[in-house]
Structures are given as structure tokens and as C-alpha cells.
């Protein structure tokens, strides 16, 4: 009995200690918090480092604060002045379905994401809005979410209602969520519905509604299963916003039930000569225009019926607009050498990348910010005592801004690097609360934390800035003028020992792959065979690589390369159900548990052979052999009958 009481006392002590450990420690000085790497603030030990508010306690937010004499992002309690911030955070939860919460960074702006920019650990990207959420619905039951084997995150197929990307084999793009989901059979759907009815989770009328309708992604999959391709409608036809239109047209709705494909004039589009597609209008300086999107010169706008240079810019004599002045903080002159302003390149920091989203739903939550010197002066190529002020994205050097060198400032009055600030961003408050879409929010982080609304070189999201002109982004097969326009729909693949990637080139005014490269899986790649006659693999009539899982998928006289999974020319010298790996062997030194060392029928060479996944292929082959044996037996029986 005494032993039981002692055990119970120890257990109670451990539980109390565990509960106490989960609570924030109280403190009277910094010495009480040094052990955990925290700092003492308002009588509690708090995290001295954070990136998003979800890493803090429920009554705290992540923001800049004085931590032991240093300015850094830390978890601090929010007071009455921060109530509007917390209400903003709660209001943003509508962007995350499934009970999740939107993730904010330490600037108290929504953490954005896309195919290139991921979310912090523990968060998932919502492709419908391009924001990070703590929890999110991805695929309707009984479908499962297709995951990236390298990152362990869900695969996105459609970002912000844009172009749909191809999902991996066995999956489809669920347009209601933007994720890749596994295809399911009608039998699997029926079983899920029966389980829901049995558990009384979904009402009968909802079940009937699902049978009649279903998601757009399911409708598309059903059409594909029937052998019919779902095509987007052309200009002038009725449309659905989730599916979109063909020929650069936009699905414009005058009411909930009335949507039609039209050319978006406000974005610089007009009807093409064929009458069913839309084309981008391009106007030079002094030419007549109807909107800013039509003007091709950088830093130009449509004013008084024609394309003119914006305030703070003048014509450069070469069809473009150049800044009248290059302005640094505190009205200091920029660095000049040989009577020319010294230009520079600034490497992008992930958390400060300029967001290209102009969705009005987010304007109250975050602005485009390009912070200079966020990680110190190790990111630019300006000389000592100067830093790089970014002006626009570098179209040639991906992942960098291009700007000019300014001296290290001493005052805290923000100015636009080039051009004039928008009227809504004036002294003394400045700010970007009413910054329009053809401007961006600039912040010179080395001098001041104040933001100012500055003009963009190109107002359209479909343009890049290059040599004083706004050029339209072009994809594979689109028309172009320079190679910098050519870009891929999705993020770059990773090279391996068998695959080489390269950038597209503008050849004869068309974006295409360089000589020796094939456009496959959304990229210009060069894949070399490692078996057979080596060299380049087989392609179809559209110049696409012929992918395979086993040699039975390839034409006669070809085999499936087990290293690259493409069809290669050559005769397989391995036994049945095995394929060559391209490696020689002695005795039994082949790699992998499914490989054997085989001596070829002709010659003394020994090669490594790998077992193929050819169960179905072998079954068909065995069936053919059985049929041949039956036919031979019948022929022998008929011969015996005739002899008698």
C-alpha cells in the first residue's frame, strides 16, 4: 500500500511538471530565460526569434522588437493598438478552407506562395489565392492528394485560376481547390456515398445533388473517360470562370448566370483578325491609345489620348522613357562613374520577393514590397559605402533585381528610386494604403521602415522589362522578339546524370528549344539512352519523348531504358522479363536486389539485367503461347483423322 501511494505521488508530480513546462515561464530578469534562448519581456520568457505569428503563443504576434538591445523579429504580446491587426488576421481565415488560418509574416502581411515560393514549415499553399494556410482542404473523397515525393507537399496544378498544369500519372486537376488528386472509379465513389449515408454524415438531398452535378474537375475527368477532350470556349461563346476561355479571351460575367468569353479591353486586348481570338495591342510613344496596358514603352501611360512618359520621366530618343533624375534617400546623388549612373544587381530574398498578385481581395492585407539590404550588403555588387536600390526585375539574370548604387543614407525620408510618388503617398505619412496597380510599394529598409508608392515600369502582369521596353511573356511556341521573353509555365525540373535542362531561345521569332534539345514535360531537355545503341531516345510525331514502364510499351526493335524510362533503339540481350541496365558485371556484382549478372548468347560479355514490371505483358505472351499450342494440337488431330 505504501508503495502504491509513493508511485501515485511521483506520477502526480510528473504530471504537474509536464503542465508547468507547457506554460510560459515567468521571469524577473534576462538570466531566467537564457537557458531556452528566449528573452524576458513583461514578466514572461518569450521567443526571441520568429518568422510568422503562428509560431508564437495565442496572445502574441511576431513583429520587430527590441530584444536585448538588438532590433529583431520576436514574439511579443499584442495590446489595444494591435487589435486591428488581430481582427485582420481573423478576417483572413476565409482564404483557408477546412478550419485553417492564414499565415502572416513579421511585416503583418499575408505570407504569399506560388510554384517557386513555398510556405514556412507546418503551412500549406492555397493555390486558389496564393497564400499560406495552417490547414486546408485539398481533394474530395474518395480521391487522395498527390504528394511531391521530394518535398512531401501537395502538388498544385492551377494557381489563382490560371493555366492548368498536367498532374502526375493516375491523377487529375481538381479545379475547385487547385490540387492534383487521384482518379477514382465509380465503384469507389458509390462505396463512399454508402458509408456517408450509413454514418448519417451527409443528408440525402446532398447525396442526390452530388449525383446530378459534381465538381468541375470530376466533370472533366468523366468527359476524358468517354474519349472526349474538354476544350475551352472561344470569344463570343458562353463560359464558366473556373474553366476559362481559349485564344487569350477572358470569361467576363455580367451576372451569376450570364458569362461570356470577351477580349479584356482594360488589359490591352482587342479582337484579332480571325474574329474568335484576342490579341494584345501595342502602342509606341505618341501613338493613340485607350488604356495604359497598350503602351509598350516602360514607364509610360495613356494620357490625353496617346502614349506619354509618366511624370518624372522623359523620352530617351530611342522609343522609350528614361528617368529625369536618379534619386537616393535624403536627396543624395547616386554613384556616378564616367558621367553615367552606376547600375547594380540585387539578389532577391525569398521573404521580400515582389508579389505580382493584384487581386483586390488582398489589397487590404499586403502590398508589393522590395526591401533593400534585408540581409545586409552581401546581396549586391555596389562598392563599399553604397548599396543597391532595386528598380525592376532583371529579365536576363533570374532571381535578381536591377537598380543603381546609392550612398548609405543618414535620414529617414523615403523617396522613389525613379519617377514621382503617387499622390496618395505624400509627406508626412507616405504609405501604400491606396497604391494603384500600376505602382508598387517601395521600402528602403536600410534607411527607413516607411513605405512609398512608386511607378512600375510595366503595368501589366504579363510583361517583362528589358532595355526600356515592356515585352509580353511568351511560352513555348509563342511569338517573341528576344529570348528573355521565353519562359516556362511551371518551375524548373532538377537535372540528373541522365537529363540536361536548358532555357528556351527565340529563334525566327518563335520560342523554341535549342538544337539538340526536346520540349518534353514542360521543359527543354536532353535525355540520352544508357542502353541499346545509346544516343537519343525515340520521339513521337509531335517530338515528345516516348515514355515507358517496360519494354513491352516500346515498338519492336526497341527497349525501355530502366534509368530514364524512355524507349531506346536496340535489341534486349537479357532473359525474358529482364532488361539491360547498361552496366557490365563479373559474377554477381550488379546493383539492386532485382538485378542479375547474365552472359549474352553471343560473345563472352556479361551484363547486368534488371527485372521489369511486366506481369501483364508476360500474361498476354503466355496466353498467345497457349493459343498456339492448342492450334497445333487441333492440327495434329485433323492429320490423324485424314490418315485413318
Phi, psi torsion values for 626, nearest 5 degrees: -60, -40
* Band of pLDDT at residue 371, cut at 50, 70 and 90: very low
* 42 Cα distance to chain centroid: 41
- Asked whether 375 and 346 are in contact (CB, 8 A), the reply is no
Sheet with 578-584, edge to edge strand ranges: 578-584, 606-611, 595-599
Any residues with CB less than 8 A from the CB of 551 and at least 6 apart, and which?
A: 558, 559, 560, 572, 579, 612, 614
With contact defined as beta carbons under 8 Å apart, do 537 and 588 qualify?
no
More confident residue, 364 or 507: 507
Domain presence at residue 339: yes
80 or 359, which is more confident: 80
Residue 594 in this model has a pLDDT that exceeds 50: yes
Domain span at 366: 325-472
Q: Look at residue 146 and tell me if it is in a domain.
A: no
CA distance 308 to 303: 6
- 32-39: Cβ within 8 A, 24+ apart: 39/67, 39/68, 39/74
Q: Where is mean pLDDT largest: 95-104, 246-255, 414-423, 427-436?
A: 414-423
Backbone phi and psi for residue 46, each to the nearest 5 degrees, phi listed first: -125, 160
Q: What's the pLDDT tens digit per position in 379-395?
A: 788 888 888 998 888 88
Q: What angle do CA 313, 315, 320 make, to 5 degrees?
A: 95
Using CA atoms, how far apart are residues 255 and 253, in angstroms rounded to an integer? Answer: 5
- The answer to whether 457 and 465 are in contact (CB under 8 A) is yes
Tell me, yes or no, whether 353 lies in a domain: yes
Strand partners, 147: 154
Which residues are CB-neighbours of 497 under 8 A, at least 6 positions away? Answer: none
Encode pLDDT of 289-346 as tens digits: 888 888 999 999 998 889 999 999 999 988 999 999 998 887 889 999 998 999 998 8
Domain membership flag for residue 413: yes
CB distance 505 to 486 below 8 Å: yes
pLDDT for res 429: 81
Q: What is the pLDDT of residues 481-526, one digit of tens each?
A: 999 999 887 766 666 777 788 889 999 999 998 877 888 778 888 8
CB distance 418 to 312 below 8 Å? yes
Under DSSP, is residue 136 helix (H, G, I), strand (E, B) or coil? Answer: coil
The verdict on residue 380 lying in a domain is: yes
- pLDDT band with cut points at 50, 70 and 90 for residue 404: very high
Region of residue 592 (left: phi > 0; alpha: psi -120 to 50; beta: else): left
Q: Is residue 446 part of a domain?
A: yes
Q: Is residue 375 part of a domain?
A: yes
Q: Does the pTM of the predicted model rise above 0.75?
A: no
For 24-55, the DSSP string reads PPB-SSGGGTGGGT-EEETTEEE-S--SBGGG
- Any domain includes 531: no
Block residue for cell numbers 563599399? 384
Q: Is 266 exposed, middle or buried (0-12, 13-18, 19+ CB in 10 A)?
A: exposed
d(CA 595, CA 580): 9
Domain count, the chain: 1
Amino acid at each position: 500500500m505504501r508503495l502504491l501511494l509513493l508511485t501515485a505521488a511521483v506520477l502526480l508530480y510528473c504530471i504537474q511538471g509536464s503542465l508547468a513546462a507547457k506554460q510560459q515561464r515567468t521571469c524577473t530578469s534576462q538570466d531566467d530565460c537564457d537557458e531556452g534562448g528566449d528573452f524576458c519581456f513583461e514578466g514572461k520568457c518569450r521567443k526571441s526569434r520568429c518568422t510568422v505569428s503562428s509560431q508564437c503563443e495565442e496572445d502574441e504576434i511576431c513583429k520587430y522588437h527590441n530584444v536585448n538591445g538588438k532590433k529583431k523579429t520576436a514574439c511579443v504580446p499584442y495590446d489595444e493598438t494591435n487589435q486591428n491587426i488581430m481582427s485582420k488576421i481573423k478576417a483572413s481565415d476565409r482564404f483557408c478552407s477546412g478550419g485553417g488560418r492564414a499565415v502572416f509574416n513579421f511585416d503583418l502581411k499575408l505570407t504569399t506562395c506560388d510554384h517557386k515560393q513555398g510556405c514556412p514549415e507546418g503551412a500549406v499553399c492555397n493555390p486558389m489565392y496564393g497564400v499560406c494556410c495552417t490547414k486546408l482542404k485539398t481533394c474530395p473523397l474518395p480521391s487522395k492528394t498527390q504528394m511531391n515525393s521530394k518535398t512531401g507537399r501537395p502538388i498544385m496544378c492551377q494557381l489563382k485560376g490560371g493555366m492548368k498544369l498536367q498532374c502526375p500519372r493516375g491523377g487529375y486537376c481538381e479545379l475547385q481547390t487547385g490540387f492534383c488528386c487521384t482518379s477514382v472509379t465509380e465503384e469507389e465513389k458509390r462505396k463512399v456515398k454508402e458509408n456517408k449515408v450509413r454514418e448519417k454524415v451527409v443528408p440525402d438531398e446532398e447525396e442526390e445533388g452530388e449525383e446530378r452535378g459534381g465538381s468541375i474537375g470530376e466533370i472533366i475527368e468523366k468527359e476524358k473517360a468517354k474519349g472526349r477532350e474538354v476544350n475551352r470556349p472561344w470569344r463570343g461563346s458562353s463560359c464558366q470562370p473556373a474553366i476559362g476561355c481559349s485564344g487569350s479571351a477572358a470569361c467576363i460575367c455580367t451576372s451569376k448566370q450570364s458569362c461570356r468569353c470577351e477580349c479584356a479591353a482594360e488589359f490591352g486586348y482587342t479582337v484579332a483578325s480571325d474574329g474568335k481570338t484576342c490579341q494584345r495591342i501595342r502602342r509606341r510613344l505618341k501613338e493613340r491609345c485607350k488604356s495604359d496596358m497598350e503602351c509598350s514603352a516602360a514607364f509610360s501611360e495613356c494620357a490625353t489620348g496617346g502614349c506619354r512618359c509618366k511624370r518624372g520621366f522623359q523620352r530617351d530618343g530611342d522609343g522609350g522613357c528614361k528617368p529625369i533624375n536618379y534619386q537616393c534617400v535624403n536627396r543624395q546623388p547616386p554613384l556616378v562613374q564616367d558621367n553615367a549612373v552606376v547600375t547594380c544587381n540585387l539578389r532577391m530574398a525569398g521573404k521580400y520577393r515582389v508579389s505580382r498578385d493584384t487581386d483586390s481581395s488582398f489589397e487590404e492585407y499586403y502590398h508589393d514590397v522590395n526591401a533593400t539590404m534585408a540581409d545586409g550588403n552581401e546581396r549586391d555588387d555596389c562598392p563599399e559605402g553604397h548599396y543597391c536600390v532595386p528598380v525592376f526585375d532583371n529579365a536576363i539574370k533570374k532571381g535578381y533585381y536591377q537598380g543603381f548604387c546609392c550612398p548609405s543614407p543618414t535620414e529617414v525620408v523615403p523617396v522613389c528610386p525613379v519617377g514621382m510618388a503617387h499622390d496618395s503617398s505624400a509627406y508626412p505619412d507616405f504609405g501604400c494604403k491606396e497604391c494603384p496597380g500600376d505602382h508598387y510599394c517601395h521600402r528602403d529598409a536600410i534607411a527607413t521602415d516607411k513605405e512609398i508608392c512608386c511607378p512600375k515600369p510595366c503595368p501589366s502582369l504579363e510583361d517583362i522589362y528589358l532595355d526600356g521596353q515592356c515585352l509580353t511573356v511568351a511560352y513555348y511556341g509563342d511569338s517573341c522578339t528576344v529570348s528573355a521573353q521565353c519562359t516556362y509555365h511551371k518551375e524548373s525540373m532538377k537535372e540528373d546524370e541522365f537529363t540536361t535542362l536548358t532555357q528556351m531561345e527565340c529563334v525566327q521569332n518563335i520560342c523554341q528549344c535549342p538544337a539538340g534539345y526536346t520540349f518534353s514535360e514542360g521543359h527543354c531537355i536532353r535525355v540520352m539512352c544508357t542502353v541499346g545503341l545509346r544516343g537519343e531516345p525515340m520521339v513521337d510525331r509531335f517530338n515528345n519523348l516516348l515514355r515507358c514502364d517496360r519494354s513491352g510499351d516500346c515498338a519492336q526493335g526497341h527497349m525501355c531504358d530502366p534509368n530514364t524510362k524512355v524507349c531506346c533503339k536496340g535489341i534486349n540481350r537479357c532473359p525474358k522479363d529482364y532488361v539491360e541496365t547498361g552496366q557490365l558485371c563479373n559474377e554477381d556484382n550488379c546493383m539492386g536486389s532485382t538485378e542479375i549478372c547474365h552472359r549474352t548468347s553471343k560473345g563472352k560479355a556479361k551484363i547486368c539485367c534488371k527485372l521489369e514490371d511486366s506481369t501483364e505483358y508476360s500474361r498476354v505472351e503466355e496466353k498467345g503461347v497457349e493459343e498456339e499450342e492448342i492450334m497445333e494440337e487441333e492440327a495434329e488431330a485433323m492429320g490423324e483423322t485424314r490418315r485413318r
